Amino acid sequence: MNALTDVSAGSRALLSGNDAVARAVWEAGARVASAYPGTPSTEILETLARYPDVNAQWGVNEKVALEVAIGAALAGSRAFCAMKHVGMNVAADALMSQALAGINAGLVIAVADDVGLSSSQNEQDSRYWGRFAHLPILEPADAQEAHAFTLAAYALSEQAACPVILRLTTRVCHVKTVVAVGERQTPAHKGFIRDARRWVMLPANAKAMLPKQDARDAALSRESDTTDLTTILDGPDRSLGLIASGPAALSAREALPDAPILKMGQTWPLPLERIRAFAAGVDRVLVVEETEPLVETELKAAGLDVLGKDTLPRHGELSVGVLRAAAARLRGTADAAAPAPAAGPDPDVFPRPPTMCPGCPHLSPFYCLSKLRRAVLIAGDIGCYTLGAGHPWQAMDTCTCMGASVTMAHGLAIGKDGDDAAKGVVAVIGDSTFLHMGMQGLLNLVYNRANVTVMLLDNRTVGMTGGQEHPGTGFGIHGEEAPRVDFVALVKAMGVKPERVHSVNPYALPDLFKLIRTETQVPEVSVIITNQPCVLTDRHVPHPALTVVEEDCTGCGGCIAIGCPAIQVARRETTTTKSGKPKELTFARIDSAFCTGCNACVETCAPNAIVPLDPAAHPRLERV
């Protein structure tokens, strides 16, 4: 057993929001949980998998994960699904239809919005899915509420016979709070109820459900006006009242402790009557919401005079400083134009842009692509390898969403003209992303006889979100052995000619470079699969570390271009030239504590100055 499952009912534990949701799903008696990893939601399923009596599984993508959870709920078991905000875009097809049909047992969908774009390609507001799909939205502000609201979501889901969306944000997911936990419930298993007119979404059946959806909306609106999840935090200053939810409500309370706050726990449907009564008791109303003006727009449409995004920023988190400054502007106080007080001078630290790990198997492919920049267009994808767009490689021309590298490369290939007409087109995609949404793109390439080279970077993990398993790793979420996809056989089965499918060791840099250059000149679909595991997994076997012989290094910088963070620039003590002028020489240095001995840098070193480590002969050197 682990610390989480050992926590007994009635006790208190320090949990993140993700941990708290997982605990509540278990306590609610859910039997099935499915998800696709994505920051900031990943840890919910990882934590839930550690609890007994829950069948927790990674799905191939969010649509698959949601459909598994829907099927379990139709079969009569409470079910759960988790994803980050962009994942709901993938799952929307299933969501919209099942929202109309409803469910049999409780189904909660946790969607984690990355407010502030910590690790995402956009900052979308998942509350709109509630409005769009006619589903209730619950929005906790901290881990304790994440636990309580998850339990409430299951009760509401079964009361309304529809899925309930639990909207989280990065701050709720990752910040820890002391949480009071309870026992696991044992809800009765309902079994599958045969009802083709409800579960088979033919047009005639769906039309008959529309009036039922309208009635459900009305009932949910009444529920929203009476739910205990929405509270009023009173304050003596009636000049300005705040309507808020989630972490923004906590920031509002800290920023304006004297202002009354209507703190909404159920943010869709809106508690309109409670809001009207609240607004009548204050002079002005400011809607505090991250990120889109959903509540503000709805309240204005309902005839209420409120302030919102004309006063507050539309992007990023609404911090205490932001809210204090906004209130000062509204009140016309002397410090209205003053910036928020600084926490202190910025620390003088060396800039550390995001980069790949030392010895990462993605380093060599992007090194090769960087050397072919004049000859190719490169469509990238979502994963660790997205960093290939940065320094020193700058080897990515597009990156939009998961799986788009393959399909956008197709469009680039048939749409390029002018200076780009003679260039080859390369799509770069990872193993998990390929299984998530890239396979369809490859089928489309083959079917339409596109001229694209696909580089499938197989590092046998979902690296970007922390090393989760997927069907290409050979293991399940609990570490048990599972069938492993054979990528070579898979792409051949999709119609790629056998002679155009290559599996290659990415550390064999000259071979990899020649292969990429050759395949990009062949006018048909080709696939290059790299086959070395992520260095942060136990599947990676490190080799003896390397070092640089200072006397032999010419300072050419060839190894630096690999982009490995274990390779740095060092300097020799000042010497004197023949003319008598002092001169400081630079050379490469390998931090052997981080070196994995992959040998990729050795292939770039013309003077053969990179050799196996001999600590006694090569002491540490001062970093530039």
**Using one digit for the tens of pLDDT, what is the confidence trace for 492-533?**
999 999 999 999 999 999 999 999 999 999 999 999 999 999
Q: Are 146 and 25 in contact (CB under 8 A)?
A: no
Predicted pLDDT of residue 246: 93
> How far is 39 from 62, CA to CA, in rounded Å?
13
> How far is 434 from 419, CA to CA, in rounded Å?
30
Q: Evaluate whether 231-331 and 363-530 have a shared fold.
A: yes
Q: Tell me which of 591 and 5 has the higher pLDDT.
A: 591
Per-residue pLDDT for 336 more than 50?
Answer: no
What confidence category does residue 581 fall into, taking pLDDT thresholds of 50, 70 and 90?
confident
> How far is 590 from 567, CA to CA, in rounded Å?
5
pLDDT over 90 percentage in the chain: 71
Predicted pLDDT of residue 128: 94
Q: What is the CATH number of domain 546-612?
A: 3.30.70
Domain definitions of the chain by residue range? 3-226, 231-331, 363-530, 546-612
Three-state SS at 615: coil
What confidence category does residue 381 fall into, taking pLDDT thresholds of 50, 70 and 90?
very high
Dihedral sign of CA atoms 64, 66, 67, 72 in order: positive
> How far is 542 from 535, CA to CA, in rounded Å?
8
Compute the average pLDDT of residues 261-278.
95
Q: Are 35 and 65 in contact (CB under 8 A)?
A: yes
Instruction: Check the annotation: does 357 bind a ligand.
Output: no
Predicted pLDDT of residue 619: 45
Instruction: Check the annotation: does 598 bind a ligand.
Output: yes
What confidence category does residue 427 fall into, taking pLDDT thresholds of 50, 70 and 90?
very high
pLDDT over 70 percentage in the chain: 93
Predicted pLDDT of residue 574: 65
Predicted pLDDT of residue 422: 79
Instruction: Check the annotation: does 360 bind a ligand.
Output: no
Compute the average pLDDT of residues 262-291.
94
Question: Which of 36, 130, 32, 111 lies closest to 73, judged by CA?
Answer: 32
- Tell me the DSSP string of 213-255: HHHHHHHHHHHHHH-TTSEEE--S-TTEEEEEEHHHHHHHHHH
Predicted pLDDT of residue 341: 47
Predicted pLDDT of residue 417: 83
Residues 6 or more apart whose Cβ sits within 8 Å of residue 121:
86, 382, 399, 400, 401
Candidate from 59-68, 206-215, 323-332 with smallest mean pLDDT: 323-332
Domain 3-226 belongs in CATH node 3.40.640.10: no
Q: What is the CATH number of domain 231-331?
A: 3.40.50.920
Q: Are 424 and 497 in contact (CB under 8 A)?
A: no
- Using H for helix, E for strand and C for coil, what is the string for 194-216? CCHHHHCCCHHHHHHHHHHHHHH
Looking at domain 363-530, its CATH architecture is 3-Layer(aba) Sandwich (3.40)
Candidate from 179-183, 474-478, 508-512, 610-614 with smallest mean pLDDT: 610-614
Average pLDDT taken over every residue of the chain = 90
Per-residue pLDDT for 613 more than 50?
Answer: yes
Predicted pLDDT of residue 337: 46
Q: Is the peptide bond before 533 cis (omega within 30 degrees of 0)?
A: no
> Residue 419 to residues 375, 412, 519: CA-CA distances in angstroms?
11, 13, 20
Instruction: Check the annotation: does 399 bind a ligand.
Output: no
Question: In 448-486, which ranges are continuous DSSP H helix?
Answer: none
Residue 418 burial (C-beta neighbours within 10 Å; 0-12, 13-18, 19+): exposed
> How far is 44 from 37, CA to CA, in rounded Å?
9
Instruction: Check the annotation: does 559 bind a ligand.
Output: yes
Predicted pLDDT of residue 342: 47
pLDDT tens-digit readout, 524-579: 999 999 999 999 998 998 888 999 988 888 888 889 999 999 998 887 666 666 67
Query: Could you say which DSSP state residue 119 is in?
Result: S
Three-state SS at 94: helix
Strand partners, 427: 379, 454
Q: Are 266 and 227 in contact (CB under 8 A)?
A: yes
> How far is 192 from 200, CA to CA, in rounded Å?
14
Q: Are 426 and 376 in contact (CB under 8 A)?
A: yes
Compute the average pLDDT of residues 252-259.
93
Task: Name the pTM for this structure.
Answer: 0.86
Q: Is the peptide bond before 293 cis (omega within 30 degrees of 0)?
A: no
Q: Which long-range contacts (CB under 8 A, 24 or more apart) does 157-162 make?
A: 157/103, 157/106, 157/107, 157/108, 158/105, 158/106, 159/223, 160/102, 160/136, 160/216, 160/219, 160/220, 160/223, 161/102, 161/103, 161/104, 161/216, 162/99, 162/102, 162/103, 162/134, 162/135, 162/136, 162/216
Per-residue pLDDT for 617 more than 70?
Answer: no
Per-residue pLDDT for 4 more than 70?
Answer: no
Instruction: Check the annotation: does 162 bind a ligand.
Output: no
What confidence category does residue 303 fall into, taking pLDDT thresholds of 50, 70 and 90?
very high
> How far is 189 from 310, CA to CA, in rounded Å?
50
Predicted pLDDT of residue 567: 92
pLDDT tens-digit readout, 443-460: 999 999 999 999 999 999
